[in-house]
């Protein structure tokens, strides 16, 4: 690990301003992803800004009947919150499906949204990777790509976003609240928060330089049956080959977002209109324009079968 400087922020606006004004600065809270990347020299920030003492660790009710989840709420606390378990069971189940208990005790809400891909070529610094070094090429496209993306990918990158929580947040229409270096704030629909790779896969979100996540806001509960199903190579903590986050109502309508197949949590509203017709029709709309490789083409069938299992569980 390379040497770096460190400071503790005193306010969210101060943290954002300091990050924008310090080349190579990064925010750190739980550090469950960033520290690994620093140890491998995939990321080499020259300055770390600790945001743990900013009071962003509360879950509060909102005037519209929803919840405001502070950026520093730990995954364990969020999954266990009575209101989340009662009204947003999808989110609680997704969090419990991710990582280990020790990691959930440290990982934060904002950090979960910001975590970087687990593509093996991204982690192998001897291999070209456009995410790690823009313009160097994508080793995964002609390499072993079983775990990687089939939709939303580009000629520059086929990596997937690893988060379970973000998939549930996408199905629930969350908004990401931030503060900019000039002290102004904004709310970003989670549908727009993560970027597709295109020709710039190293630009993964719409955040501006120094912009800090302060909270995630959930709208009022949508009711229905909340189901999160994760398919992975082993039952212990591992990243999804395919995951399905669904809210299904008694009439068969609902919402569905999919993980493990794209560079961002994947939701296609047109596919949701097909849910009453069954998994075959809905998955066809979800996967329109898919570009699988020879190693991960099985994911197309796996999405359909996982969605079928979710719909069957909802009916039961």
pLDDT in tens, 268-277: 999 999 999 9
How does the average pLDDT of the chain come out, rounded?
Answer: 97
pLDDT at 155: 98
pLDDT at 150: 98
pLDDT at 99: 87
pLDDT at 89: 98
Task: For residues 264 and 167, give the distance between their C-alpha atoms in angstroms, rounded to a whole number.
Answer: 8
C-beta separation of 103 from 32 below 8 A: yes
The mean pLDDT of 232-245, rounded to a whole number, is 91
Transcribe 185-210 into DSSP letters.
EEEEEHHHHBPP-TT-TT--BSPPTT
C-beta separation of 74 from 107 below 8 A: yes
pLDDT at 57: 98
State the pLDDT confidence band at 235, using cuts at 50, 70 and 90: confident
The mean pLDDT of 87-92, rounded to a whole number, is 98
Count of C-beta atoms within a 10 Å radius of residue 15 = 24
State the pLDDT confidence band at 232, using cuts at 50, 70 and 90: very high
**What percent of the chain shows pLDDT beyond 90?**
97
The mean pLDDT of 78-87, rounded to a whole number, is 98
The mean pLDDT of 152-174, rounded to a whole number, is 98
Rounded to 10 deg, the angle between the 298-315 and 279-286 helix axes is 140
pLDDT(236) > 90: no
pLDDT at 1: 72
pLDDT at 139: 98
Q: Which of 229, 239, 299 is nearest to 118 (CA)?
A: 239
pLDDT at 44: 96
The mean pLDDT of 288-297, rounded to a whole number, is 98
3-41 pLDDT tens trace: 999 999 999 999 999 999 999 999 999 999 999 999 999
Task: For residues 121 and 126, give the distance between their C-alpha atoms in angstroms, rounded to a whole number.
Answer: 8
State the pLDDT confidence band at 157, using cuts at 50, 70 and 90: very high
pLDDT(237) > 80: no
């Amino acid at each position: 690990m390379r040497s770096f400087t460190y400071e503790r922020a005193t306010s969210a606006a101060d943290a954002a301003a300091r990050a924008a004004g310090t080349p190579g600065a990064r925010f750190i809270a739980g550090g469950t992803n960033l520290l690994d990347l620093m140890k491998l020299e995939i990321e080499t920030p020259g300055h770390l800004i600790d945001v743990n003492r900013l009071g962003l660790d509360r879950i509060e009710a909102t005037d519209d009947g929803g919840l405001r989840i502070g950026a520093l709420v730990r995954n364990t606390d969020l999954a266990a919150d009575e209101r989340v378990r009662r009204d947003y069971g999808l989110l609680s189940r997704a969090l419990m499906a991710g990582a280990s208990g020790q990691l959930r005790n440290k990982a934060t809400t904002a950090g979960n949204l910001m975590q970087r891909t687990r593509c093996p070529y991204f982690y192998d610094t001897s291999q070209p990777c456009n995410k790690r070094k823009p313009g160097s090429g994508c080793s995964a496209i002609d390499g072993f790509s079983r775990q990687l993306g089939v939709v939303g990918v580009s000629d520059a990158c086929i990596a997937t976003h690893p988060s379970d929580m973000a998939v549930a947040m996408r199905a629930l229409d969350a908004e990401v609240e931030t503060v900019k270096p000039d002290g102004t704030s904004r709310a970003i629909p989670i549908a727009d928060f993560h970027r597709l790779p295109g020709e710039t896969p190293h630009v993964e979100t719409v955040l501006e330089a120094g912009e800090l996540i302060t909270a995630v806001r959930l709208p009022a509960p949508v009711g229905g049956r909340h189901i999160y199903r994760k398919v992975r190579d082993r039952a212990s903590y591992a990243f999804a080959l395919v995951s399905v986050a669904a809210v299904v109502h008694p009439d068969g309508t609902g919402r569905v977002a999919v993980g493990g197949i794209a560079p961002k949590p994947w939701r296609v509203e047109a596919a949701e209109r097909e849910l009453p017709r069954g998994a075959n029709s809905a998955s066809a709309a979800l996967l329109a324009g898919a570009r699988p490789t020879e190693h991960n083409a099985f994911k197309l069938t796996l999405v359909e079968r996982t969605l079928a299992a979710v719909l069957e569980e909802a009916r039961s």
